[in-house]
Amino acid sequence: MVQTYSSNETKIQFQDFELLEVSSGKKKFLKDFFSNQATVIMFICNHCPYVKHINTELIRLANDFIPKMISFLAINSNDKIKYPEDSPENMKKVHNQLNYPFPYFFDETQEVAKYYNAKCTPEFFIFFGNGNLCYHGQLDDSRPGNKVPVTGYDVRNILNNILKGKKMLSPIVKSSYGCNIKWKM
């Protein structure tokens, strides 16, 4: 159920997909939410205790950086049949209850998770405005029960470096840790 993941994938570039955006109930293109500065794509879901553990920080992080022209997109790629808590209807409820300041997309076919080689929730991909990957990994070192405060340190650090104009020659990769994406059989 819990998996550690790291990637040697350095050639991932942003690719556009049309997915259901649950707050509006309409299919929308991811590219419409992509920023010229930087974009954070988060693979999350409703049921995962690791995501629940960091939800407050996800909201704080987005609220801190959206005014600085950095966009955030959340994607749930889990099988809604096996995990009904992760259905679009329940995603919309969570989006509204938590007042997510970012769009929350449902990846029904799981093609987006496969394209990005996402393995778990939560898992983060940060792209420069030109669409090149600069970070893939965890939010920070906090996990449920490990008593490390949730700060968003790793993602915040990358975003602050982008805002300072620091160049990264290759993507920084830090292992993500959480619940496996629930693949369809």
| CATH number corresponding to 2-7+17-180 | 3.40.30.10
Instruction: Write out residues in the chain with pLDDT < 50, as ranges.
Output: 1-10
Kindly list the domain boundaries of the chain, sorted by start residue: 2-7+17-180
43-59, pLDDT tens digit by residue?
A: 999 999 999 999 999 99
Question: Which are the contacts of 74, defined by CB distance < 8 A and separation ≥ 6?
Answer: 42, 43, 44, 58, 100, 102, 103, 104, 105
What per-residue confidence (pLDDT) applies to 60?
Answer: 98
pLDDT computed for residue 11 by the predictor:
61
Cα→Cα distances 130→13, 115, 171, 176, 182, Å: 9, 18, 14, 24, 31
Q: pLDDT tens across 104-139, in order?
A: 999 999 999 999 999 999 999 999 988 899 999 999
**According to the model, what pLDDT value does residue 2 have?**
37
